[in-house]
Amino acid sequence: QELTTVRVQDPRVHNEGSWNSYVDYKIFLHTNSKAFTAKTSCVRRRYREFVWLRRQLQKNAGLVPVPELPGKSAFFVGSTDEFIEKRRQGLQQFLEK
């Protein structure tokens, strides 16, 4: 049985405290599928790259619904760590769907 696992992990804040700060996430993929030459893969991606991916999927999805992404909020009420973790969980759910 073929199995593919994808994990969104290890959020990192870059340029913290400045106007151009951003967070990227480690995306880890493991599979035993014969369709993939590499069985494991690891990259870092920003939220805006998930937005790009979702748009590309929508263009090609036809009638298949594309899952939503977690919200983007410049004014989050609560801790930054809490927001980053909620977003990480939302990105994980997006990739799983």
Q: Which CATH number, 3.30.1520.10, 3.40.50.720, 3.30.565.10, 3.40.640.10, labels domain 4-96?
A: 3.30.1520.10
The owner of tokens 């759910």 is: 93
The pLDDT score that the predictor gives to residue 79 is 65
CA 82 from chain centre, in angstroms, equals 16
- CA end-to-end distance (rounded Å), the chain: 19
Report pLDDT digits (tens) over 17-41: 778 888 999 999 999 999 889 999 9
The token duo for 5 is: 């696992």
Q: What 3-state class would DSSP assign to 4?
A: strand
Residue 76 has pLDDT above 80, yes or no: no
Closest CA to 34 of 70, 8, 3, 75: 3
Where along the chain do its domains lie? Answer: 4-96
